[in-house]
Amino acid sequence: MKKAWLLSAAFCAALLSGCGLTDTPNELMRAPSADGDQKSINQAVMQFLPAGSQLAVPLHPAEASAVSLQDLNGDGAPEVVAFYKSDKTDYEIGVLVLTQKQGNWQKLTSFTGIGNELDYVSFNDLTGDHIPEMLIGLGGGDGLNKELSVFSIADDKTQELMKQSYSVMAVGDLNGDQQPELALVMHDHTNFTSKAELFGAKDGKITKLTEIALDGYVNGYEQAIIGKASPTRNALFIESGVGAHSSATDLLLWENGELRNPLAKVEGEMDLTFKAYSLYSEDINGDGIIEVGTMIQPLGTEDMAMAEIPWISSYFQWDGKTGLKHVEDHYQNFAQGIDLKIPDKWRDKYSLATLPSSNSFTMRFFYYGENGKNKAELLTLQSVPQTEWSKFENGLKQKQVPYVLLKEEGKQVLIAILPQAAPNLGKSAMQEYRAMQLTADEIRQLYKPLSIP
């Protein structure tokens, strides 16, 4: 349903919000194809954008853009929708809608909303008339709840269909009716109450379908997404911050017209979705099903301080009942941009440790047998400053150190160093260790770059 085009370099305005400043304005508009006159759209937006304004890129969802093409009135011809912020005020976001008549772009409407950040933009049919509405969420800053407005356009006029406060939100088909629903999660910091509300189409209007109370004593809610929890069931995944730095996940299903959490914490028992640090749910293995992330502490790190532990991200899928089933583990380092999937043959038999270094990052993975009685290097990840890489690489080659080049662009080069010599282990431990060793191809398949979510 969503269409957007790449803008040409004609736009030289600075960007607002999470994307920051850029010299490549093509990023303002994203789409798989362009089926119109791109140049005329560029010129039209520049012409009608108020003087002293900057295009604004929405913070959410990730694919949202500052300028989009959308058929907002159902006539088969797309309108141009552009979001901007004026230099005159910090608390106003503008929306510009252009339509094409007789081959020329004209301003259909424009309006502003109160807020200093463009938190959310999407175009979805929430009324069931097969014409998308504009969902625009505006925020006032960290720690403050945001406000969503839903607009429709008919007879060249804009109508606000809904206005609602929220902390985080998601859009998707939760109840399996092939129609998108809107989920709003609201956290009242003052009264320590929270709830998730679900809205959908009924009799041509946006109607609240149901709501469910959530934990009001959390620090806040950080993310909400709607996606598959199993091959046949969709769910709403909600991430909350608890304690000083910990987090948890609510998984909400649509059942008999209500929302239900099959993983709800049972008093006196451990929360299945608790994690020491924030880790968002995602489809980690690309099978189309969302995994819930938790964290596990590596073997042999029991005496380490919480902040020093090299936590392993462990991902689980809903088992269809009241539990979770393990999918896979990853070593993830957002500061270094590293995601290394832990091979299945390592599970419960490895540990890792950061090695001190003045100007680089070094993480060593090692075989950990018989509760640490047997140890041997399996793999070392090391970053090297780009300015020192040539000299460092020559040293590796001279010493015939086997390594795999994982990332070369940027300021740091990332390599995986394989062990050189056979360790001093007993017969059974040596057999176990050898079965855990990786080839260069396996390492390349296990690694992927990681960016801050």
| Mean pLDDT across the chain | 90
Torsion, Cα of 397, 403, 406, 410 (10° steps): -40
Whether 294 and 366 map to the same domain: the answer is no
Whether 249 and 148 map to the same domain: the answer is no
Whether 233 and 183 map to the same domain: the answer is yes
- pLDDT for residue 231: 96
Of residues 103 and 435, more confidently modeled? 435
Whether 173 and 267 map to the same domain: the answer is yes
Position of tokens 């020491």?
276
Domain boundary among 123, 158, 193: 158
Whether 134 and 178 map to the same domain: the answer is no
The whole-model pTM stands at 0.90
Whether 279 and 187 map to the same domain: the answer is yes
pLDDT tier at 10, thresholds 50, 70, 90: very low
Domain boundary among 129, 158, 187: 158
For the cut 90, the answer to whether the pLDDT of residue 309 exceeds it is yes
For residue 52, give the CATH number of its domain: 2.40.128
pLDDT, tens digit, 9 for 90 and up, residues 315-372 = 999 999 999 999 999 999 999 999 999 999 999 999 999 988 777 899 999 999 999 9
Domain boundary among 336, 366, 392: 336
Provide the domain count of the chain: 3
- pLDDT for residue 453: 63
pLDDT tier at 143, thresholds 50, 70, 90: confident
Whether 176 and 264 map to the same domain: the answer is yes
- pLDDT for residue 27: 43
Of residues 359 and 296, more confidently modeled? 296
Whether 329 and 431 map to the same domain: the answer is no
Whether 308 and 365 map to the same domain: the answer is no
C-beta separation of 383 from 336 below 8 A: yes
pLDDT, tens digit, 9 for 90 and up, residues 68-91 = 999 999 999 999 999 999 988 889
Residue 267 in any domain: the answer is yes
Residue 237 in any domain: the answer is yes
Residue 36 to residue 14: CA distance in whole angstroms: 25
Residue 342 in any domain: the answer is no
Nearest 5°: phi and psi at 390?
-60, -45
Residue 101: which domain range?
41-158
For the cut 50, the answer to whether the pLDDT of residue 31 exceeds it is no
C-beta separation of 7 from 80 below 8 A: no
pLDDT tier at 222, thresholds 50, 70, 90: very high
What is the DSSP track for 385-410? EGGGHHHHHHHHHHTT--EEEEE-SS
- pLDDT for residue 30: 45
- pLDDT for residue 14: 32
Whether 253 and 364 map to the same domain: the answer is no
